[in-house]
Amino acid sequence: MGGGFAPLPNDVDSAYPGNAMKWTRKFSPCAYICLGLLIGDSDGLRPSAAQEPEPPVVDPGPPGGPPSDAIVLFDGKDLSAWQDARGGPARWEVRDGMLIVNGTGNIFTKQEFGACQLHLEWCAPPPEGRTGQARGNSGVYLQGRYEIQILDSYQNQTYPKGQAGALYGNFPPLVNACRKPGEWQTYDIIFQPPLPGPNGEIIPGLITVIHNGVLVQNHVPVKNATTAAAFRGPVAKGPLMLQDHGCPVRFRNIWIRPLD
Ligand code: MG
């Protein structure tokens, strides 16, 4: 096609008789480069690029991460980043690279987080006749307060604000992107916490959730703790919580990137 500097066809030229289009056609490559040099740009094409700070380099790792700057919360080996509700050792089962809910209660990260990008992978157990909220129920609570529901929502009827990917009780997922039970699923969550305002009010936070690569929460406001939260009230930082809802949901590859 001749690239961006190819002469324009005559019919285009004739459509703008005697106007600036003709000048631009003849002089544009030289003119733009000279203009760039005059205003001090390094390559003449991207004004002020030389003054911008260079973004840090991050190795994204394999598909699904963890990126090189992430805090790994579970790498398939141990629960050293986690504790139980009383601050004792987390007792969920670690087997074959998986973390498995086993009825010993919710678990919490030892470290606390504010704004963050979170990745986790989960897998619902076989339904075995269970339906609705009893089927593959768990949840990830940002700051131990705000639950993104984990549920086997594959061909499983329940109320929309309680299905997989819901900000529980607040916003249903935009779509149901659930895989079959027994298949691994991904959550990628971008979270900005609600914060206490100067007059005792709550300044809402924001949550975006991508389930199996599909957007299910698009920058929705989050204000109050959801049902069965461990804590209430807005805070700058709080622990991540995984819910024990009595279903042997499995987890793997959990990492977080603080954004504050
Ligand atoms: Mg739940």
Which tens digit of pLDDT belongs to each residue from 63-101?
Answer: 999 999 999 999 999 999 999 999 999 999 999 999 999
Tell whether the model's pLDDT for residue 2 goes beyond 90: no
Q: Six-digit token pair at 58?
A: 């991050």
Give percent of the chain with pLDDT exceeding 90.
80
**Separation of CA 72 and ligand 1 centre (Å):** 23
Phi then psi dihedrals of residue 4, to 5 deg = -75, -15
**Separation of CA 95 and ligand 1 centre (Å):** 22
- Smallest CA-to-CA distance from 242 within 25, 90, 27, 128 is with 90
**Separation of CA 169 and ligand 1 centre (Å):** 11
- Least confident span in 50-54, 135-139, 170-174: 50-54
pLDDT value of position 21: 42
**Separation of CA 64 and ligand 1 centre (Å):** 23
CA dihedral of 133, 138, 144, 145, whole degrees rounded to 10: -20
pLDDT value of position 25: 45
pLDDT value of position 4: 38
- Least confident span in 1-5, 20-24, 173-177, 195-199: 1-5
**Separation of CA 70 and ligand 1 centre (Å):** 25
Range 117-128 burial, b when 16+ CB lie within 10 A, else e:
bbbbbbbbbebe
CA distances from 228 to 59, 138, 146, 156, 164 (A): 37, 11, 9, 22, 16
**Separation of CA 124 and ligand 1 centre (Å):** 12
Please indicate whether residue 113 or residue 40 has the higher confidence score (pLDDT).
Answer: 113
- Smallest CA-to-CA distance from 123 within 247, 35, 6 is with 247
**Separation of CA 246 and ligand 1 centre (Å):** 10
pLDDT value of position 38: 44
Helix (H) or strand (E) holding 11: helix 10-15
**Separation of CA 3 and ligand 1 centre (Å):** 55
List all residues 6 or more positions away from 129 whose beta carbon is below 8 Å from its beta carbon.
none
**Separation of CA 247 and ligand 1 centre (Å):** 10
DSSP 14-36: HHSTTSHHHHHHHHHHHHHHHHH
Q: How confident is the model at residue 51 (pLDDT cuts 50, 70, 90)?
A: confident
Q: For residue 100, which amino acid is it? A: I
**Separation of CA 208 and ligand 1 centre (Å):** 18
Tell whether the model's pLDDT for residue 24 goes beyond 60: no
pLDDT tens profile 190-243: 999 999 999 999 999 999 999 999 999 999 999 999 999 999 999 999 999 999
Tell whether the model's pLDDT for residue 160 goes beyond 50: yes
Q: How confident is the model at residue 45 (pLDDT cuts 50, 70, 90)?
A: low
pLDDT value of position 40: 45
Using the structure block, give the residue that is written with the tokens 């989960």: 122
Q: How confident is the model at residue 126 (pLDDT cuts 50, 70, 90)?
A: very high
Q: How confident is the model at residue 33 (pLDDT cuts 50, 70, 90)?
A: very low
Instruction: Give CA–CA dist 149/168, Å, rounded.
Output: 6
Domains contained in the chain, CATH given: 10-51 (no CATH), 71-258 (2.60.120.560)
Tell whether the model's pLDDT for residue 14 goes beyond 60: no
